[in-house]
Amino acid sequence: MKSFLRIILAASVLLTPISLSNAQETLTINGKQVTRVVIAPARSPIAKIIKKQLRSNYDSQKFESRKWYDAQKLYYFYGARHFEPIWLTQDEAGKTAFSNKALKIIELFNNAYLSGLEPKNYLTDDINLELIGNDQTKLAYVETAFSAVALNYAQDAYGGRINSRKVSNNFDYKPNKIDRAKLLLDMVYSDNPISILLALEPKHKEYIALKSVLARHYNGTIKQVAIIADGKILRLGDEDTRLPLIRQRLEIVSANINENIYDETLLVAIEEFQTKMGLTSDGIIGPATIAAFNGGNATTKEDIIANMEIWRWLPRDLGNFNVFVNIPEYRLTINNNDKVTFSTRVVVGQTKFQTPMFSDEIEHIVVNPYWNVPRSILNNELAPSIKSNPNYLASQNMELVSGGKVINDRNIDWSTTSMNRFYVRQRPGPRNALGSVKFLFPNKHAVYLHDTPSKSLFFRSRRAFSHGCVRVKDPWDFAKALLQIEPKITYASIASQRGGKKERWNNVATHIPVHLAYFTLRIDKNGSVRSYGDIYGHNKRLKVLLGI
């Protein structure tokens, strides 16, 4: 603390005017610009108490922690204005009340639920004047507590109230943080602090649409229908107590006396519904079909709030031209100025090999790729076959590599040699696990988008089969759509490389933002809410953490 308040003056000091909006001043010492902290003296009784409380809070925080920096900024901020209150006023009789500016912010706190936030997190006893009376010490605490609560609201609105890592370590977005000191200044000097706080919410069109749907839930415009519960997969002839509700949702009457029987009439309706919802039209009522039924008016406020929270974790700017993979939807899109210009199905990671959520940029398109087998797959799945079968690697078009050189595995005595000395790669070819092309955005998770020889998996409704990477159903159509903004590489040039035995790298001049996301609710082009299965359980976990 002392190091921040110590002022060292030297000869030939040139001072610039001190702004009361910042408890610092810039000065020149021996020709160099430096910044020093300026704390104006507290004069009034309440100001002295505010100073003491802020100083105590500042000194009690762990050095250079987030709370330490926040406490420092708050101390400097009030210090620039003689520690006089911002949010409190006194009438001629000496009665203390909230200022008009504070009352406007309190009104926003009351309506926080409309933004998917929780009013009670901000309307705390710490800022309840009715419980305080006219005790100057307690009023001073209300003043500083109100600033802290307003900033907490701002951070929640901007970056979310839950740390995404608490849901899963597979959420790897860079946290969206506000500049607390600047924001406090903006609110103090604005005639409309509510507009400043509302402007912190995401501008993504789907977030805005979800917020609108949430409002309609609260005002009674949307009459919520019954949720269809998860359960066993249903096929023609099966019996289940959920079938009458499914029939009701599809507005069909059973031709059977027993409405709990899955009959031909329902089968036709289910297939039509699946086609309409973009699902595999197989008549099988599984998790994806049940999730689709639970969209629209069956969507719950809790699910809307959870998905709004996730939008707060994503980058504020997704890029005018971007690739967006929604894992629960098993779908990839290319978006150009918020319009979908390309869409295809994808296969994502299994539950035990979950695809992580993060944002990056596509930098390379690799044609005829090698597949460098991940160490976990090599050790846990391939090693036993390699050690017991001398022909295994050759049969899989694979080779053993060490020090950048291909090693003849037949000459290795595995009883005395560790597999950790080597890595395995699969040569380019029709059976290569990555297919004929991959799209790289170098990242610590070692995941990317790629082709696959296992085309049949794309025709299943539930498509979580990979070890974490994202398999693309139409990779060459995707490449063509992707390269429409690329100035140096043409689709024809990379297509001409296809089919060879040599790996070919193509470095794109324009790096393309790519976002791997996890939304169980999406808003379609007609403004309807689509629901998707919570395949990794992230949505369920998030709702628990949110307390909803």
Do 37 and 173 fall into the same domain? no
Residue 489 lies in a domain: yes
Phi then psi for residue 78, to 5 deg, are: -70, -30
**Confidence category of residue 5, pLDDT binned at 50, 70, 90:** very low
Is 19 a residue whose pLDDT tops 50?
A: no
Q: Answer whether 347's CB lies under 8 Å from 470's CB.
A: yes
Domain end (from 79, 99, 125): 79
**Chain segment 294-350, per-residue pLDDT in tens:** 888 889 999 999 999 999 999 999 999 999 999 999 999 999 998 999 999 999 999
Q: Rounded to two decimals, what is the model's pTM? A: 0.85
Assess whether pLDDT exceeds 80 at residue 401: yes
Query: H helices of 242-300, where?
Result: 243-250, 264-276, 287-293
pLDDT of residue 526: 85
Q: Is residue 231 part of a domain?
A: no
CATH of the domain at 324: 2.40.440.10
Instruction: Flag whether 52 is in a domain.
Output: yes
> Where does a domain end: 234, 265, 293?
293
* One-character DSSP codes across 349-391: E-GGGPPPBEEEEEEEEEES--EE--HHHIIIIIHHHHHH-TT
Q: Are residues 317 and 343 in the same domain?
A: yes
Clarify whether residues 39 and 187 are in a common domain: no
Q: Are residues 365 and 377 in the same domain?
A: no
- Give the chain's domain count: 5
pLDDT value at residue 15:
28
For residue 9, what pLDDT is reported?
25
Q: Which of 380, 399, 427 is the last residue of a domain?
A: 427
Query: Is residue 93 pLDDT above 90, yes or no?
Result: no
6 plus 44 within the same structural domain:
yes
For residue 175, being part of any structural domain is answered with yes
What's the whole-number average pLDDT of the chain?
89
> pLDDT value at position 171?
97
More confident residue, 32 or 498: 498
pLDDT classification of 535: cutoffs 50, 70, 90: very high
Alpha-carbon distances, residue 26 vs 7, 243, 441 (angstroms): 12, 73, 43
Highest mean pLDDT among 39-53, 64-78, 250-264: 39-53
Q: What is the pLDDT of residue 260?
A: 92
Rounded CA separation 112/98 (Å): 19
229 is a domain residue: no
What are the counts of helices (DSSP H) followed by strands (DSSP E) for the chain? Answer: 20, 20
For residue 334, tell me if it sits in a domain: yes
Based on the fold, state whether residues 8 and 73 are members of the same structural domain. yes
User: Can you give the pLDDT at residue 415?
Assistant: 85
- Does residue 247 fall inside a structural domain? yes
Examine the domain organization and report whether 319 and 275 are in the same domain: no
| Region 237-253 average pLDDT | 92
Instruction: Note the pLDDT of residue 273.
Output: 93
For residues 515-533, average pLDDT: 93
Q: Which sequence positions are flagged as catalytic?
A: 450, 469
DSSP, collapsed to helix, strand or coil, labels residue 458 as helix
Taking only the tens place, the pLDDT of each residue in 358-399 is 999 999 999 999 999 988 899 889 999 999 898 999 999 999
Neighbour-count burial for 504-515, b at 16+ CB within 10 Å, e otherwise: bebebeeebbbb
Can you tell me the distance from the alpha carbon of 478 to that of 221, in angstroms, rounded to the nearest whole number? 40
Domain assignment of residue 222, yes or no: no
* Same-domain check for residues 350 and 495: yes
**456 and 377, same domain (yes or no):** no
What is the rounded distance in angstroms from the CA atom of residue 118 to the CA atom of residue 178?
Answer: 19
Range of 188-192, 390-394, 406-410, 491-495 with top mean pLDDT: 491-495
One domain for residues 448 and 421:
no
- The single residue listed with the structure tokens 């979800």 is 210
Cα 155 to chain centroid, rounded: 15
- pLDDT tens-digit profile of 200-244? 999 999 999 999 999 999 998 888 788 899 999 999 999 999 999
Residues 95 and 191 in one domain: yes
DSSP structure string for 132-194: HTT-HHHHHHHHHHHHHHHHHHHHHHHH-SS-HHHH-TTB-PPP----HHHHHHHHHT-S-HH
**Which letter does DSSP use for residue 445 in this model?**
T
Domain of 422 in residue numbering reads as 371-427
Query: What is the structure's pLDDT at 25?
Result: 53
Under the banding of pLDDT at 50, 70 and 90, the label for residue 37 is low
Same domain, 440 and 417: no
Report which of 316, 386, 69, 325 is spatially closest to residue 175, judged by C-alpha positions.
316
Q: Write out the DSSP string of 489-531.
A: --HHHHHTTTT-SS-EEEEEEEEEEEEEE--SEEE-TTSPEEE
439-480 pLDDT per residue, tens: 999 999 999 999 999 999 999 989 999 999 999 999 999 999
pLDDT score of 80 more than 60: yes
